[in-house]
Structure 1
Amino acid sequence: MKKLWFFLLLLIFSALMVACSEEDASDAGEKIETSGKAGNKEDGFSGEITVWAHPFTGDQEVEGKMWKEIISSYEETTGVKVNFEQIPWANRDQKVLTALAANNGPDVFYAIPDQMPQYAEAGMLLDLNPYLKDNDMEDFVESALVSTTWKDKVYGLPILQEAYTFLYNVDIIKEIGEDPSKLPATWAEFEKWAEKAKEKGYYASSFQGGGSMNGTLYPYLWQAGGEVLTADNEVMINSDAGVEAFEFINKMYKNEWIPKDSITALEHDALWDSSKMLSVQGSGASISRMLSKDTFEFVIAPPLKNKKQVTYGTTGMFVVPINSENPDAAAEFVKIMTSAENQRKFNQVTQYIPTRESAKDIFGEQKYLAQLATYTEFAMPGVIHPEGRNIMPLIQAELQTMMEGKKTPKEAADAAAEAIKGKVK
């Protein structure tokens, strides 16, 4: 308990310094009124709970209707009143932590993979394992449960998932003499296509070196069979597999398969849109954007494989804080919220991929999203560790230094390992 409160006090002090001019988290959200009333149903639930989530679309009218339907299904089943508040994405950590420390926070809130292990390690989240015996956990995509689990305890249930992979320009594929129905499956095959694209004056792909490591180094590191660090703080980024990933990225940059600004770029949409790039890394949002533009034909490739076939894809989940005054009802909300029926409602509106296999039928006629949904089994949610977010800038700095030619891949990987050790030990 001392560890919990010490951790909270440090974070809250930092949060208040950053957000001292912001409104209190307890009333920062937009409330959605529902018609449910507290009652006593057959399962013995009663009272009320407060749920916090974020805006997931630009159409708040449609999204609000979706929330009302889901919340009503819960209230009718349990008799528990839901007070729903939509809070902004900005400064969400500060809002949640400040409210929880004051015992004025939600009973359920939305979390992402780099938040969950921080909260769990500090003893802030309720272990959901005792509530899951009747929840058909086999229906969840296995990779989606990775981000909800910390040290063998399940602290959340996933509602949405993504999978990043390569989209290819069909016209350029044909121009380089390849077949759009036989896309690269391995690093070696990709390299052959990359050389052909360069010979024809195209970049082979995008690389957002100024963005998250989830979309740059990590997928190649996982494909090489490596990992960044373990839950027990063993740093693995400079293993042979890690160095191989650094080498592959360095090769792409030196051979000019990726643009010159890849060291700091945040996106390469303009190059892709103007047909100067063979492929681009993307997800569901990328597909939706391409379909809205309707500029050229594209195809989607499965995630690449070296030693392993794996890619990045975030997972969104709902969790219950340990100090919820109605934990049984809160846990039941998380279960009902992530049921197949409600996952269909939520993900039809948000256009994310359901984390239950049985709910993926929502993409029936949408061939691109239906195809992308089959790749979530390969999607890792990032580095699941309390320091996962904090070590990213340290790794990024070394990766950029290597691309600038100031360090070899081995030197960059070793320097990244030392920087990580300084954070976790």
Structure 2
Amino acid sequence: MKFWKKMALGSTAVLAAMSLAACSNGSSNSSSSSSSNKSANLTLWVDTEQVPYYKQIAKEFTKKNKNIKVRVVQSPNGSANAKTDVGKDPSKAADVFEVPNDQLGQMAEAGYINPLSPSATKDIKANYISVASKGVTWKNKIYAFPYAQQAQTIYYNKSKLSANDVKDWKTLTSKGVVATDFTNAYVMWPVMFSAGTKLYGDNGEDLKGSTMNSQNGVNALKWYAAQKNNKGVMQTSNALNQLKKGNAQAILDGPWNAANIKKILGKNFAVAKYPKIDVGGKKVQMEAFLGIEGFAVNSHTKNAKAASDLAAYITNKKAQLIAHKEAGQIPVLKAAVNSSAVKSDPVAEAVIEMAKPGNSVLQPMLPQMATFWNEAAPLISGTYDGKIKPAQYKAKLAKLQKDISKK
């Protein structure tokens, strides 16, 4: 689930002159915008800071589809709340909207979105990185056009910390201060994965497959609790501000904030994959949640073909590269991932490394994730601040596992 907000935009002036390829994968043998002869008026919901450049991308789409008009507006409450906003009245929601992958299962079950067409499904499976197609798949069917991968990394001041320092949590927190947020389950829960627990099994769809009610889960809670007395760890809901003030030399954050962090650190900006941590007597890789951002088509749209064409178009190669240039989004289309612009970007390099198995876990899409987010955060923060005592660990883990497994 998205508990974050992404960075401010750069210039959009260059976009007007760019002509985007019609197909979602940028190849010449597939056309996803040579759409119906029927005229259509479409609405596209995106996050506030994305409106300027998606307006330009939509303008190029309408040049190629003169019978279709597109209105680009900000999501009512941000893409993080897509399920809630669409659910208020699907018939009045946007034809196409941005959505994080962990909500797709809930939206599919509620009937807000339909599986993509066979041709779009084939294209995504063939031309996008495998974790992207997996990330938008629910019960073996693809429900959204993916456009970005998001995993947190460690950003640090390289005048204070070396590349070697940030490879291990113990060294990192003895030589500097890392600011993070133990009230945010998106940020801190993945320590549970490092400890060896699973959330909804190996594939994230097994309702009875969670294993946090175990010694491994207890070990993770012990790690959270130990950080309270670690002088090199700062609890904060505004890590950026602490980095700016110089109170912290490193933060755990995502690509959506890279531009802001670069402004703060300037020539001392550096980024790397997460460090190793000691959990349960073992040194393991600190993991992160991996999220896939996508665009879904409202099942209640009166212009399904045109809406699908638009969703495919705004996730094609050039559109993904624009999103990378303007907002630091990390592409998922193979052709975009392999572009020089992405390969030369240290943030993209670190995110792509974190996206690999063993470094991150794809956010599950079960509807019960809503319960998970609500209950996981207070468990972590309560353990960290000592309000939840060691004698309570097993009972708290048992309750969480039971609650998130209910049908």
SS of the equivalent of 2:94 reads: coil
SS of the equivalent of 2:179 reads: coil
Pick aligned residue for 1:152 from 125, 140, 144: 140
Are residues 341 and 147 of structure 1, via their aligned partners in 2, closer, same or farther at CA, if it must alter by over 3 Å? same
Q: Where do 1:239-318 residues align within 5 Å?
A: 239-259=214-234, 262=235, 265-294=236-265, 297-304=268-275, 310-318=287-295
Pick aligned residue for 2:393 from 409, 412, 422: 412
SS of the equivalent of 2:370 reads: coil
What CA distance in whole angstroms lies between the structure 1 residues aligned with 2:198 and 2:261? Answer: 32
Query: Does the CA contact (< 8 Å) of 1:225 and 1:307 recur in 2?
Result: no
SS of the equivalent of 1:50 reads: strand
Number of residue pairs matched by the alignment: 357
- Say yes or no: does 1:97 pair with 2:94: no
Query: Does the CA contact (< 8 Å) of 2:82 and 2:97 recur in 1?
Result: no
SS of the equivalent of 1:57 reads: helix
Pick aligned residue for 1:107 from 79, 86, 95: 95
How far residue 67 of structure 1 moved from its aligned partner, in angstroms, is: 3.0
Pick aligned residue for 1:84 from 54, 64, 71: 71
RMSD: 3.2
Q: Where do 1:261-410 residues align within 5 Å?
A: 262=235, 265-294=236-265, 297-304=268-275, 310-360=287-337, 361=339, 363=341, 367-375=345-353, 377-378=355-356, 379-380=360-361, 382-408=363-389
| Counterpart residue type for residue 138 of structure 2 | W
How far residue 208 of structure 1 moved from its aligned partner, in angstroms, is: 0.5
- Say yes or no: does 1:74 pair with 2:45: no
**Structure 2, gaps ≥5 residues long:** 1-32, 277-282
Are residues 364 and 108 of structure 1, via their aligned partners in 2, closer, same or farther at CA, if it must alter by over 3 Å? closer
Query: Does the CA contact (< 8 Å) of 1:220 and 1:245 recur in 2?
Result: yes
What CA distance in whole angstroms lies between the structure 2 residues aligned with 1:93 and 1:381? Answer: 19
Are residues 240 and 334 of structure 1, via their aligned partners in 2, closer, same or farther at CA, if it must alter by over 3 Å? farther
How far residue 423 of structure 1 moved from its aligned partner, in angstroms, is: 5.0
How far residue 281 of structure 1 moved from its aligned partner, in angstroms, is: 0.8
What CA distance in whole angstroms lies between the structure 1 residues aligned with 2:404 and 2:384? Answer: 24
How far residue 340 of structure 1 moved from its aligned partner, in angstroms, is: 0.9
How far residue 418 of structure 1 moved from its aligned partner, in angstroms, is: 1.2
Are residues 396 and 365 of structure 1, via their aligned partners in 2, closer, same or farther at CA, if it must alter by over 3 Å? closer
**Structure 1, gaps ≥5 residues long:** 1-40, 174-179
Are residues 393 and 254 of structure 1, via their aligned partners in 2, closer, same or farther at CA, if it must alter by over 3 Å? farther
Counterpart of 1:216 in structure 2 is 188
What CA distance in whole angstroms lies between the structure 2 residues aligned with 1:365 and 1:145? Answer: 21
SS of the equivalent of 1:290 reads: helix
CA displacement 1:348-369 (0-9 Å, x = unmatched): 2222222223224363696433
SS of the equivalent of 2:44 reads: strand
Are residues 414 and 166 of structure 1, via their aligned partners in 2, closer, same or farther at CA, if it must alter by over 3 Å? farther
Query: Does the CA contact (< 8 Å) of 1:224 and 1:308 recur in 2?
Result: no
TM-score, normalising length from structure 2?
0.75
How far residue 170 of structure 1 moved from its aligned partner, in angstroms, is: 2.5
What CA distance in whole angstroms lies between the structure 2 residues aligned with 1:252 and 1:286? Answer: 24
Counterpart of 1:47 in structure 2 is 39
Are residues 137 and 424 of structure 1, via their aligned partners in 2, closer, same or farther at CA, if it must alter by over 3 Å? same
What CA distance in whole angstroms lies between the structure 2 residues aligned with 1:127 and 1:364? Answer: 30
- Say yes or no: does 1:236 pair with 2:217: no
Are residues 93 and 269 of structure 1, via their aligned partners in 2, closer, same or farther at CA, if it must alter by over 3 Å? same
What CA distance in whole angstroms lies between the structure 2 residues aligned with 1:80 and 1:327? Answer: 14
Counterpart of 1:24 in structure 2 is none
Q: Where do 1:31-42 residues align within 5 Å?
A: none
Pick aligned residue for 1:190 from 147, 166, 169: 169
Query: Does the CA contact (< 8 Å) of 2:149 and 2:292 recur in 1?
Result: yes
SS of the equivalent of 1:312 reads: strand
What CA distance in whole angstroms lies between the structure 1 residues aligned with 2:139 and 2:156? Answer: 39
More strand by share: 2
Are residues 238 and 145 of structure 1, via their aligned partners in 2, closer, same or farther at CA, if it must alter by over 3 Å? farther
Are residues 82 and 417 of structure 1, via their aligned partners in 2, closer, same or farther at CA, if it must alter by over 3 Å? farther
Query: Does the CA contact (< 8 Å) of 1:53 and 1:87 recur in 2?
Result: yes
CA displacement 1:341-394 (0-9 Å, x = unmatched): 221223322222222232243636964334335335335453422122332231
How far residue 126 of structure 1 moved from its aligned partner, in angstroms, is: 0.8
Pick aligned residue for 2:180 from 204, 207, 210: 207
Are residues 119 and 270 of structure 1, via their aligned partners in 2, closer, same or farther at CA, if it must alter by over 3 Å? closer
Query: Does the CA contact (< 8 Å) of 1:51 and 1:84 recur in 2?
Result: yes
What CA distance in whole angstroms lies between the structure 2 residues aligned with 1:337 and 1:141? Answer: 17
Query: Does the CA contact (< 8 Å) of 2:288 and 2:361 recur in 1?
Result: yes
Divergent runs of 4+, >6 A: none
Single out whichever of 111-120 and 135-144 deviates more from structure 2.
135-144
SS of the equivalent of 1:84 reads: strand
CA displacement 1:246-290 (0-9 Å, x = unmatched): 22222222333313xx2xx31233443344434211223443223
| Counterpart residue type for residue 216 of structure 1 | M
What CA distance in whole angstroms lies between the structure 2 residues aligned with 1:284 and 1:159? Answer: 14
Are residues 158 and 380 of structure 1, via their aligned partners in 2, closer, same or farther at CA, if it must alter by over 3 Å? farther
What CA distance in whole angstroms lies between the structure 2 residues aligned with 1:278 and 1:48? Answer: 51
What CA distance in whole angstroms lies between the structure 2 residues aligned with 1:391 and 1:118? Answer: 13
TM-score, normalising length from structure 1?
0.72
